[in-house]
Amino acid sequence: MKQSRGWVVTAALAVIAGQVAAATVGAVQSPGTTPPGSTPDAALYDAAFARATEIAGGEQIGGSINLLGVIGGEELDALQSTYEAFEDATGISIEFEGTRDMAAVLQTRVDGGNPPDAIMTASIGQLRDLGAAGDMIALDDILDMATVSEEFDAGLLGLGTVDDTLYGVFNTAALKGLIYYNTAVYDGPLENVNWDQMNEWQAARAAEGITPWCIGLESGAATGWPATDWIEHFLLKQASLDIYDQWWQGDLSWNAPEIKAAWEAFGAIATDPTLVNGGPDAIVSTSFASAANPLFSDPPGCLVSHQADFLAASLPSEVEAAVQGETFNVFMFPSIASVPENAGHVEIAGGMLGIMNDTPQTRAFIEYSASPEAQALIGATGRWLAPNRAVDPAVYATPISAFAADTLANAVAVRFDASDLMPASMNEAFWRGVLDYVTGADSLDSILERLDGVREEAYAD
């Protein structure tokens, strides 16, 4: 189904983080006091419990919800901690089913007549397609739309809307494009960084035999997605917002010069064995979750790594020496010196919730999940930003989550992850294409031509 331009994410998304208190621009300055993923404080729990009790009409509804999503490990533990108040207040058990191949598993279950009760997905294109096909439950008569419209940015609501019907609401958000570094060894630019500065610095380090970048593209069935973030960021910094929007909407050829230039900018780093840890072949098999670990090896395996804000929460669990704001820090994806007006363009991703079975349990769950009380718990984990703009910014207790929220609130323009907005077949072809490009299995021109063929089918009316 052709995707409408009417739901383009605009600069108004910057208010997603609410009225965030002023923070130092550039690197984060001081560590927070709340460990990422720790148990929410009593006040946040009590507020969420009261809201869930109100939604349930003071009754123990009971039963369970099968929630299908992609996360696991400590990240899942953090998410489930935000459900405790809801489960205690309503008696409803949230049974999370994790998969690393969300698109295929979900479609298989839908085709088999056994959909999950609810889904949490970053693949907004797939959720929209399922909504258009009648496989998602409309939320317009479940949620108080006046309140939802006030608490969520119109652009975010538009992403979950098909033919004027709401099928999904965001419950997590992540700021992408952070550059992580070990404060003890990184000697490159920090303030208002542009790629001319970064290129000069990384060439000097490589000439000394020091590898500048750590990159990991492995992610199970979704292997390749971290590379799409790189390409999307280069496009946001190099080209206009209209080009970015036309691209993910399927209205621009993959052979367009702006798209090719973004691929080449990424390739200048990822395909150069002197610039990436282990060389191009190694990064394809290196997990994105542990790619930044060599920042702390002795000697360091690299000096910088690119990832979203969620890495700040998971890195300390991977590496004992990693301490937010002390031993590691961040700055934003460098700008392009020749296009300074694009410096404030940032990208977000997020998890959207939708329900596929209309039950008292799923109705209560979606209403609770959209509430500021529930989303305050999300923000307090230190792993995500809360999409509900009624959430008090004081919940961001860790330094990098506070930095991310402030950056987002002060962005010139915000765009959602382009690949996640594409139809599933286009997104998956994108993943495969970047792997072929990095390993040299195919030429860039051939890859872009192949992707353009996929575009013609994926966006067909």
How is residue 374 written in tokens? Answer: 């529930």
Question: What's the pLDDT at 256?
Answer: 98
Model pLDDT for residues 106-148, shown as the tens digit of each residue: 999 999 999 999 999 988 889 999 999 999 999 999 999 999 9
Q: Does 96 share its domain with 191?
A: no
Q: Does 44 share its domain with 139?
A: yes
pLDDT(30) > 70? no
Q: Which domain covers residue 138, as residue numbers?
A: 5-19+35-175+347-418
Q: Are strands 165-166 and 93-98 parallel, antiparallel or unpaired?
A: unpaired
pLDDT grade for 7, boundaries at 50, 70 and 90: very low
Q: Does residue 338 lie within any of the structural domains?
A: yes
Question: What's the pLDDT at 17?
Answer: 36
Q: Does 308 share its domain with 225?
A: yes
pLDDT(20) > 60? no
Q: Into how many domains does the chain fold?
A: 2
CB neighbours of 384 closer than 8 A, spacing ≥ 6?
Answer: 172, 173, 174, 310, 350, 351, 378, 401
Q: Does 233 share its domain with 323?
A: yes
pLDDT grade for 461, boundaries at 50, 70 and 90: low
Question: What's the pLDDT at 410?
Answer: 83
CB neighbours of 303 closer than 8 A, spacing ≥ 6?
Answer: 181, 182, 185, 186, 187, 188, 205, 210, 211, 212, 213, 295
Question: What's the pLDDT at 374?
Answer: 97
Q: Does 335 share its domain with 354?
A: no
Question: What's the pLDDT at 100?
Answer: 83
pLDDT(28) > 60? no
**Across residues 49-58, what is the average pLDDT?**
98
Model pLDDT for residues 198-246, shown as the tens digit of each residue: 999 999 999 999 999 999 999 998 999 999 999 999 999 999 999 999 9
Average pLDDT over the chain, rounded to an integer: 90
Question: What's the pLDDT at 372?
Answer: 96
Model pLDDT for residues 62-103, shown as the tens digit of each residue: 999 999 999 888 889 999 999 999 999 999 999 999 998 898
Supply the CATH number for residue 258's domain. Answer: 3.40.190.10
Strand ranges (E), 231-375:
304-307, 328-332, 345-355
Q: Does 446 share its domain with 314?
A: yes
Question: What's the pLDDT at 12?
Answer: 33
Model pLDDT for residues 139-191, shown as the tens digit of each residue: 999 999 999 999 988 878 998 999 999 999 999 999 999 999 999 999 999 99
Nearest to 247 by CA among 418, 424, 18, 362: 418
Q: Does 155 share its domain with 265?
A: no
CA angle 291, 232, 101 (to 5 degrees): 60
